[in-house]
A and B are shown apart, each in its own frame.
Chain A
Amino acid sequence: MADAVARLKEAVMNYEMETIADLAKQALKDGVDPLVAIEKGLAEGIKTVGEKFGRGEIFLPELVMGAEAMKAALAVLEPAVPKGKHRSTAGKVLIGTVQDDIHEIGKNLVSTMLASNGFEVVDLGVNVSGSDFLKKADEQKANIVAMSALMTTTMPRMAEVITPLKKKSKAVKVMVGGAPVTDTYAKEIGADGYSGDASSAVEVAKRLVR
């Protein structure tokens, strides 16, 4: 059983995107605890990949492939986790690009970075309306709502989610980012955190859930 868990960790580290789902299915069949498989296998694997990226030993596509492999295995393992039990994560982040903005890659990179640092990420995609952010934040019980805007014209959309969100819940934290967004602007609109790039987004998220 320990072998199966180690094998899952290795599969993330080797970016086995196409075949890892079969490994996960086999592990379940062999009676491996899905929570152990996730926490000791997948999470450990992606942590190692993230650390290598941080040290400059591997490049971004390898990190993304590691995260994709983890995602593929999670799709098999998560539904098998008994009701009432939850995998331990660094926190749950709801992320999306704001309404009228279809820029995707920056937001995706932040998702990948967060996932490779132990966060559970729910990605709402691009052109996400304010009401969708509010509805999903409530449904998902997210610790952090992360919004991205890449145009000066769509930046104000972020402000318009923060006000009602904060009114509803004091606990939820908001972080914002995107090329035109600045630290000053983030503070003005009442965001709890800002980051200019995907790597520092992880530090911000860690600070917010501390």
Chain B
Amino acid sequence: MAYGIKRGVRFQILSESDLDRIHWGTLHVLEKVGVQVDSVACRKLLKDNGCDVDEKTRIVRVPSHLVEWALEKKKSSITLAGRNPKYDAKLDLNHSYMTANGNGAVAVDFETGKRRPSMKKDVVNSSRIIDYLQNVHIHWPMVSSTDQHPSTMHLHDLDASMNNTEKHIMYETGVTISDAKSLTEMGYIAAGGEKEFRQRPVQSCLQCTYAPLQHDAGVMDASLYFAEMGVPLVFFGMPQPGATGPATLVGSLVVGNAEVLSALTMTQLHAPGAAVIYGMGNAPLDMRTTIRAGGSPEHALSSAMATELAHHYGMPSCVGVSATAKQPGDQAILEYYTGCAGPLLAGADLMCGIGLLEDSSCLFYEQIVIDNEIVGVISRLIRGEWADDVTLALDVIEKVGVGKNYLAQKHTVQHLRSGDHFMPELIDRRSFDSWSADGSKSLVDKARDKTKWILANHKVPALDSDTQAKVNAVIEKAKKPMWGGETKRA
């Protein structure tokens, strides 16, 4: 069976003409308002290719034909390879893949329940959990190894991930050119060489643009490097409707689209044909609490519409989901269900990501397991139904006739096995009596039990000692004193 979630159902929010208007509107913004480009290299690239560059304000106005040219150059089909090829995620516009959420800085200790800064051991454990779970297909280092030297935290995140999952790893920490170099080197080591990595990229990088309409120097310099070195990129816009983008979801989509398309243009000018995935995660700012409303219906709709826009361009999408809940349970489930269902029903190729609370900042191990179940439910919703000889089952209906039942039919067993009926692991469908006799466990309790089981039983083959030695050398080489000397944490 193919890896990923098969898609057979799609709901539509925007019409073709809506999408065209958003596209033309975006080109208008890029030509008239422009984007702020802080990278000197990128400004030169854009200027050399006919853009109007104001060196004082660093604002670049990008002509439409250049954006259209970049859209021609991009790759539509990208495979994000796993260390184990059975986990290769083919972004073929027919399958959806769920990713972990990434780079929170807080974790709630699974043993003590204490809320504390995240540590490398949390990256290790969450990577093993992700490796085990069936409905999460792409791994992200979920939290930062804040117990490591600040200059190499992100490399420890990657090291812990590489050793504890065989799935593809996407990171979001390539924010300067030196970070990009170290991360790329680790990717090449993981793949067994540059040529091998280019054929089967086992790692990729998600880059955030800055709303409204800005590109950070470090991020863009790193992006050009990644593009050149064959590391697939996601450019991820995230204007917050009402705050860093217009309050209307479509208006914010235009702002985010202008950021993503201008980043795509710079990348394609530098390395034509580089693998770029279209990313967006527009959650509004909650206007009562000033917290980003991850997992809101508006977040889900924005991610769904961004997917439609990406497909309009023939690009795979990577769209966001998160939750503002403070602990696993009812609110987290409601937010993650809402946030995942909308975009997946609209055909999101990559959904990032599950398992973190407090808007992608706090890790509870058991939430990963709960979200895995949520994605399982949605996978069934979007698989699609069709009428053919097998599904119509006229022969079986004839055979069973009137007043009997279908329990003892091979047809029934076959279709249970092929996933026609979703079999939950956490949702409890037992009677009250058997549920209470078994300790009246909540869904969160059951998720904790399963998490314990995974941590005790699931083993992932570590890197061999030769590869590990090379990885350690990259980390050691990257270690440098931070500005103004060492911090206490180091």
A102 and B214 form a contact (CB under 8 A): yes
At the interface, yes or no: A100 with Cβ under 8 Å from chain B?
yes
* Given known A152-B144, A152-B146, contact A105–B244 (CB-CB < 8 A): yes
Docked pose: A181 CA to B358 CA in angstroms:
13
A160 and B290 form a contact (CB under 8 A): no
In the bound complex, residues from chain A placing their C-beta under 8 Å from that of B288 are 56, 59-60
At the interface, yes or no: A40 with Cβ under 8 Å from chain B?
no
Q: Could you say which of B104, B243, B290, B489 contacts A199, with CB atoms under 8 Å apart?
A: B290
Shortest A71–chain B CB gap in Å is: 18
B175 and A151 form a contact (CB under 8 A): yes
A61 and B487 form a contact (CB under 8 A): no
A188 and B489 form a contact (CB under 8 A): yes
At the interface, yes or no: A103 with Cβ under 8 Å from chain B?
yes
A152 and B485 form a contact (CB under 8 A): no
* Given known A102-B216, A105-B240, A197-B291, contact A156–B487 (CB-CB < 8 A): yes
In the bound complex, residues from chain A placing their C-beta under 8 Å from that of B489 are 156, 159, 185, 188-189
At the interface, yes or no: A157 with Cβ under 8 Å from chain B?
yes
Q: Which of A105, A113, A152, A182 has the largest count of B CB atoms less than 10 A from its CB?
A: A152
Bitwise, A93-110 to B at CB < 8 A (1) or not (0) is 000000110110100010
Q: Which of A61, A103, A153 has the largest count of B CB atoms less than 10 A from its CB?
A: A153
In the bound complex, residues from chain A placing their C-beta under 8 Å from that of B483 are 99, 130, 156-157, 160
At the interface, yes or no: A35 with Cβ under 8 Å from chain B?
no
In the bound complex, residues from chain B placing their C-beta under 8 Å from that of A182 are 105-106, 116-117
Q: Could you say which of B289, B361, B482 contacts A156, with CB atoms under 8 Å apart?
A: B482
Q: Which of A151, A160, A185, A199 has the largest count of B CB atoms less than 10 A from its CB?
A: A151
* Given known A105-B244, A160-B483, contact A60–B287 (CB-CB < 8 A): yes
Count A/B pairs, Cβ under 8 Å.
Answer: 88
Interface size on A, residues (CB 8 A): 34
B150 and A179 form a contact (CB under 8 A): no
Docked pose: A154 CA to B291 CA in angstroms:
21
Docked pose: A199 CA to B286 CA in angstroms:
13
Shortest B263–chain A CB gap in Å is: 15
Docked pose: A113 CA to B144 CA in angstroms:
30
In the bound complex, residues from chain A placing their C-beta under 8 Å from that of B485 are 160
At the interface, yes or no: B173 with Cβ under 8 Å from chain A?
yes
A179 and B216 form a contact (CB under 8 A): no
B487 and A159 form a contact (CB under 8 A): yes
At the interface, yes or no: A184 with Cβ under 8 Å from chain B?
yes
B153 and A184 form a contact (CB under 8 A): no
Additional A-B contact list (6), CB under 8 Å, known A105-B243, A153-B154: A109-B290, A156-B483, A156-B487, A156-B489, A163-B484, A198-B290
A-B contact pairs, 8 of them (CB 8 A): A102-B216, A153-B150, A159-B487, A159-B489, A180-B103, A182-B116, A189-B489, A197-B290
